[in-house]
């Protein structure tokens, strides 16, 4: 893919940005469809739901998980992970679905080693804060512990992910020059 992108004269950052934006557009469309279907079956959110807080949390969640995405994308060149067998994406996907409250309440794993893993994932804190903002109408002040953690994750994971991704790009350029 890198060869095609380079031959087309498209900057890698533009291609990556477009790919990421398309993924978010697609997921937003799914959310709108789910909400519309939910409305048909009587879904209602509290009148006092904190929509501004939920949007802030969504944005912080996107930025913090983007760092994990950069680390995952780096594995293509670092570990030779092609055709969907990328280990970071697989592990994060498994852990998020099992531990962060996607399929069952996080309280089900309290006081276990899985709870420790769950607390290391930014998705856990984003889901918890979004639920508190929308379902319990928590104010921004009440959401600050989760917001602070998401800001920390955003900064740290973007820095780590960007560094590893830059390294993987330089590795890919060296491999292309050798071949």
pLDDT tens-digit series, residues 47-70 = 899 999 999 999 999 999 999 988
How much is the pLDDT for 176? 63
Neighbours of 42 (CB within 10 A): 6
Residue 170 pLDDT > 70, yes or no?
A: yes
CA angle 113, 118, 120 (to 5 degrees): 105
DSSP code per residue over the chain: -HHHHHHHT--HHHHHHHHHHHHHHHHHHHHHHHHHHHHHTT----TT--HHHHHHHHHHHHHHHHHHHHHHHHHHHHS---TT--HHHHHHHHHHHHHSSSSS-GGGGTTSHHHHHHHT-HHHHHHHHHHHHHHS---HHHHHHHHHHHHHHHHHHHHHHHHHHHHHHHHHHHHHHH-
Q: What angle do CA 43, 62, 17 make, to 5 degrees?
A: 120
pLDDT number for residue 93: 85
Tens digits of per-residue pLDDT, 121-162?
999 999 999 999 998 999 999 999 999 999 999 999 999 999
Query: Among residues of the chain, what percentage have pLDDT more than 70?
Result: 93
Q: What is the mean pLDDT of residues 26-47?
A: 89
* 2 pLDDT higher than 80: no
CB atoms within 10 A of CB 75: 19
Q: Read off the tokens for 156.
A: 């740290």
């Amino acid at each position: 893919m890198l060869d095609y992108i380079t031959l087309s004269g498209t900057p890698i950052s533009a291609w990556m940005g477009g790919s990421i934006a398309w993924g978010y557009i697609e997921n937003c469309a799914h959310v709108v469809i789910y909400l519309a279907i939910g409305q048909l079956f009587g879904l209602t959110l509290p009148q006092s739901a904190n929509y501004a807080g939920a949007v802030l949390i969504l944005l912080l969640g996107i930025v913090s998980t983007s760092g994990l995405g950069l680390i995952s994308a780096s594995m293509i060149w670092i570990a030779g992970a092609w055709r969907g067998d990328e280990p970071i994406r697989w592990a994060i996907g498994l852990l998020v679905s099992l531990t962060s409250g996607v399929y069952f309440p996080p309280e089900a794993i309290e006081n276990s080693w899985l709870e420790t893993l769950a607390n290391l994932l930014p998705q856990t804190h984003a889901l918890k804060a979004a639920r508190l903002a929308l379902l319990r109408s928590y104010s921004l002040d009440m959401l600050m512990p989760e917001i602070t953690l998401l800001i920390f994750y955003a900064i740290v994971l973007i820095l780590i992910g960007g560094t590893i991704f830059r390294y993987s790009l330089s590795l890919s350029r060296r491999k292309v020059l050798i071949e």
